[in-house]
Amino acid sequence: MRKYSTFTAIMNAVFILIGMSFITAIILLFSALSGYVEYVPVIIVIAISLYIWFVLLLFHFFQTKRRKIVFLSIVAAAIMVSMISPIQHAYKNSIPTMNAEVYVFEYTPFSKHARVATLNEPATLRLSDELPKMDGATALYPLYSAFVQATYPEKEYDPFDSEVMVNTTPDAYNNLFTGKVDMIFVAAPSDSQLKIAQQKGLELNMTPIGREAFVFFANQKNTVNGLKFADIKDIYSGKVTSWNEVGGANDPIRAFQRPADSGSQTALEKLMGETPIMKAPHENISSGMGGIINEVSEYRNYKNAIGYTFRFYSTEMVKNDQIKLLEIDGVAPTKESIRSNAYPLTSEFYIVTTQTKNDNVQEFINWIQSKQGQLLVEKSGYVPVN
């Protein structure tokens, strides 16, 4: 009879294992799909604890109160350890953050409340057919949207599916290389983008249409208000790792970077020159321009961070008051310091084309370089090349 009871208990344990494994798998899948991946260890610990509990009951292990207390104590400790990650995640999410992403529809040409610059007179160029298809960086969308509103026929231009699109810099270059657009408004290409163009047999025609400041920013609570150009290179090469080495508090520097081929990452690479950029931890690479501003502005999490972007994006499009732009070599990044070349980290931005067959492209570029086009560059908040 005892052999029969033991066999029955073993079979019941197997059936319970199968059933609980199935239920646990469903719960884990639901958690992953719902974005609660941090709770996976907790679910697994609870499932294992319940299974062991049932098995021990089948074999009549809990015949004394002491055994129950010891087992429950072990389970409680295991659950508490598994809860560390969810608690940290919940704490981080409880801290208010500033939204630094841009709602691009605010800059869509001809929209009712479009935040784009306008001329006080009709444009000398009006296009009606064979409209040049364009794409570009988010930071330049307000500018080329103003060009479009001045010269294109009035209609709806979806920023993600029309003649006038806005994407990230890498996507814009890819759309140009594949012939989806005639022109793009971007920063200078990275070495890898130049290599791709060469491999495809494409000649990149780069027309400078304005100038902008490449800026570095820190949290408002940071006591450092400016850095030397050499400090920037030392920080992003990994030579300087603490703010106290550049006049700040004794906090480690958390130096954020952007993904490869993005406009601001390319600007950093050009700034660093032959100095190698340190490899950033994965969590220190922000995918979007807004993301990097968000991370640095989160005071309780990243008061020790530093990031980079372009002046217009941070001051006019995002307007995040939790960050401050740092002076470089004692000069603040303003339109006046860009115009006078006093600010040391300025660069031109371009219209980039390849072998487009649209005859209106060059006419459109000529108009952008004209007095009216450059006036729109100025009124949009950038610095004209002329």
User: Would you say residue 92 has pLDDT above 70?
Assistant: no
Q: What is the mean pLDDT of residues 95-117?
A: 70
Band (pLDDT 50/70/90 cuts) for residue 149 is: very high
Q: Which residues pair with 308 in a beta bridge?
A: 216
The 10s digit of each residue's pLDDT in 255-295 is 888 877 777 788 888 889 889 988 876 666 565 656 655 66
The per-residue pLDDT for range 294-335, each reduced to its tens digit, is 665 554 446 888 988 888 776 665 566 678 889 999 999 988
In this prediction, residue 182 carries a pLDDT of 97
**Which residue in this structure is represented by tokens 């217009």?**
312
Q: What is the mean pLDDT of the chain?
A: 85
> Mean pLDDT over residues 33-43, rounded?
82
pLDDT attached to residue 122: 95
What are the backbone dihedrals phi and psi of residue 280, each rounded to the nearest 5 degrees, phi first? -85, 145
- Could you tell me how many residues make up the chain? 386
pLDDT at 37 over 90: no
- Backbone phi, then psi, for 65, in 5-degree steps? -65, -35
Give me the amino acid identity at 87. Answer: I
Query: Could you tell me if 210 and 376 are in contact, meaning their C-beta atoms sit under 8 angstroms apart?
Result: no
* Residue 249 in this model has a pLDDT that exceeds 60: yes
> How many angstroms separate the CA atoms of 376 and 378, rounded?
5
Q: Give me the pLDDT at residue 366, please.
A: 96
pLDDT tens figures, 55-73: 888 888 888 888 889 999 9
Strands 205-219 and 323-325: antiparallel
Among 7-11, 110-114, 216-220, 231-235, top mean pLDDT goes to 231-235
Instruction: List, in sequence order, every beta strand (DSSP E) within the chain.
Output: 134-136, 183-186, 205-219, 226-227, 254-255, 305-310, 323-325, 327-328, 346-353, 383-384
- Give pLDDT tens digits for 169-226: 889 999 999 999 999 999 889 889 999 999 999 999 999 999 888 899 898 889 999 9
pLDDT at 281: 66
- In the chain, the percentage of residues whose pLDDT exceeds 90 is 43
Residue 251 tokens read as 């906090």
pLDDT of amino acid 91? 64
Looking at the predicted structure, is the pLDDT value of residue 97 above 80? no
In terms of C-beta density within 10 A (0-12 exposed, 13-18 middle, 19 or more buried), how is residue 156 classed? exposed
- pLDDT on residue 94: 56
Q: Of 179, 169, 111, 168, nearest to 145 (Cα)?
A: 111
What pLDDT, on a 0 to 100 scale, did the predictor assign at position 288? 61
In this prediction, residue 95 carries a pLDDT of 47
Please report, as a single letter, which amino acid is at residue 162: S
Question: In the predicted model, what is the mean pLDDT of residues 345-355?
Answer: 91
CA gap 83, 45 in Å, rounded: 10
DSSP one-letter code for 204 = P
User: Is residue 119 over pLDDT 50?
Assistant: yes
Average pLDDT over residues 375-379: 93
Nearest 5°: the CA angle 330, 312, 95 is: 90
| Range with top average pLDDT, 129-133, 136-140, 262-266, 298-302 | 129-133
For 57, the enclosing helix (H) or strand (E) is: helix 40-58
Name which of 86-90, 94-98, 356-360, 362-366 the model is least confident about. 94-98
What Cα–Cα distance (Å) separates residue 231 from each residue in 27, 161, 247, 329?
Answer: 50, 42, 11, 10
Question: Which residues pair with residue 77 across a beta bridge?
Answer: none
For residues 175 and 136, give the distance between their C-alpha atoms in angstroms, rounded to a whole number.
Answer: 10
**Are the CB atoms for 289 and 340 separated by under 8 Å?**
no
Q: What pTM was estimated for this model as a whole?
A: 0.65
